[in-house]
Chains A and B, each alone.
Chain A
Amino acid sequence: MNLVFAIIALITLASAIAAMCLRNLVHCVLCLTVTFTGIAMTYLQLSAQFVGFSQIMVYVGAVSVLVIFALLMTRGGNELNLRDWNPRHWLIGLGTGLLTFGVMATGIFKSSLTRSAAPDSKTESVKTIGESLLNEYVLPLEALALLLTVALIGAALLAMPERKTASSPHSDRPQTKGDPTN
């Protein structure tokens, strides 16, 4: 196994475990960002350049910032969340996780598909990706465009603050401030 890939895999797994274990929520998200970068480095190791850089651009540049904004807007950035990691169920949860990993690892090691493949020098070309996106996969591409538009409008609508109606019976009294539900 390649030394470089061993280091990348170690960093990715360690930061993923840290992202799921830490108590300070912002530290969790920052470790998650390191995980995403490690995954992008794995893509680059597999010589998939376009996908690797897209992963950095989308996940590290956009999704991490989105999660951090949501975390700060829901008061997660202030205090340590002491009730977050529930100690009653951690044994069952860890056991389930390890069991799942065991099943998947057994499947990986026993299969003949994963053993016999030897890599040729396969390089991607952006032109071929573009051509296959517009020839074979044009229907999923248009559906994805529709999905992204709907998600954009939906997310903006859901996160907008509710508007209180401006009409009040006594217009010369000062408006009440500090509405508790807004």
Chain B
Amino acid sequence: MDTLIPYLLLSAGLFCVGLTGVMLRRNAILILAGVELMLNAANINFVAFWRFHPGADDMSGLVMVLFTIAIAAAEAAVGLALVISIFRHYRSTDPEILEDLKG
């Protein structure tokens, strides 16, 4: 509570967990969930820096967080619609089957 360090460590930890999830999971929906986790970790950073900034009426950090929440939700919606549409065609959500353009 006295310094920024615990909040930034939490944010870095969540970001790395999300990054590991994106790299290792073989289901497209869970990759999107990992991306959401990374975006939330960045949001914690914004709010922590907003809290520790001296200006009394400066709400820029919170405005950034509101925009990021909205954009992340929109991106999740479009990404999941894409996953559903791919599933209709290939009958699987494994991202490694999408290799028609390979080679």
**Contacts of B77 on A, CB cut-off 8 Å?**
66, 151-152, 155
B98 contacts the other chain (CB 8 A): no
The smallest beta-carbon distance between A163 and chain B, in angstroms, is 13
- Per-position contact with A for B69-97: 1 when CB-CB < 8 Å, else 0? 11111111110111111011000011000
In the complex, are the beta carbons of A101 and B13 less than 8 A apart?
yes
The smallest beta-carbon distance between B23 and chain A, in angstroms, is 5
* A–B Cβ pairs within 8 angstroms, 8 of them: A9-B6, A13-B13, A42-B44, A48-B51, A76-B93, A132-B63, A148-B74, A152-B77
**Contacts of B70 on A, CB cut-off 8 Å?**
58, 144, 148
Given known A46-B47, A140-B67, contact A67–B4 (CB-CB < 8 A): no
In the complex, how many residues of chain B place their beta carbon closer than 8 angstroms to a beta carbon of chain A? 71
A83–B96 alpha-carbon span in the complex (Å): 12
**Contacts of B19 on A, CB cut-off 8 Å?**
96-97, 100
**Contacts of A101 on B, CB cut-off 8 Å?**
12-13, 16
In the complex, how many residues of chain A place their beta carbon closer than 8 angstroms to a beta carbon of chain B? 86
In the complex, are the beta carbons of B37 and A84 less than 8 A apart?
no
A32 contacts the other chain (CB 8 A): yes
A51–B68 alpha-carbon span in the complex (Å): 11
